[in-house]
Amino acid sequence: MMDFVLLDGDQALFQPAFGAAVVVVRPGVLRGSGPASVNGKAVAIDGDESSVAVQGCLYQSAAYPIPGTGTLEVAALAGDQRSQNSRSGGQPLLLVGGAFTARFRVQAPAQQPTPSGPVPDPLTEYSGQGQFLSSNQILRAS
C-alpha cells in the first residue's frame, strides 16, 4: 500500500504512556539523509529514525511520584514504515505508516518518598509507542 514518504524535519509524536511510567512528551524531529528530496527537504531513509532524540522529558509513575527525567527515542519501526519497493541512495525510504515502538531512557530516576528519604526508580528504560507526522503531501511510496 502506498504511504507518504517522511522528510527531513518531520515530527515523531510520542504517546505519554510508557508502561507504568507517564512521560510529559514533546515532539521529536526526524533528520532525513537520503540523496533525493521533496520541496528542498531530504527524504528520510532506513536508519534515519535513530536521529530522533527528545531529551529532558519529565516522567513519573504511581510508585515513583517525584518526577525524574529522560530521553525519548524511536526504538523500532513498524513493518509498514519502511518501503519495500522504493529506495534513495540504495536504502529503503521511511514512510508515515502505523505506530513505531518508542523507548524512554531514564537519565535521572523518578523517586518514591519514604520516611528514610527518597528511593529511586530502579528501571533504566520504558517502552511505549509513537507515530510520525509528515509535512509531505506529494510523494508516496510502497
Kindly report, residue by residue over 33-74, the tens digit of the pLDDT. 999 999 999 999 999 999 999 999 999 999 999 999 999 999
Rg over CA atoms, the chain:
17
Whether the Cβ atoms of residue 12 and residue 132 lie closer than 8 Å to each other: yes
In terms of phi and psi (left: phi > 0; alpha: psi -120 to 50; beta: otherwise), the region of 63 is alpha
Whether the Cβ atoms of residue 75 and residue 34 lie closer than 8 Å to each other: no
Output the pTM of the full model.
0.95
Q: In this predicted model, what pLDDT tens digit does every residue of 78-133 receive, in sequence order?
A: 999 999 999 999 999 999 999 999 999 999 999 999 999 999 999 999 999 999 99
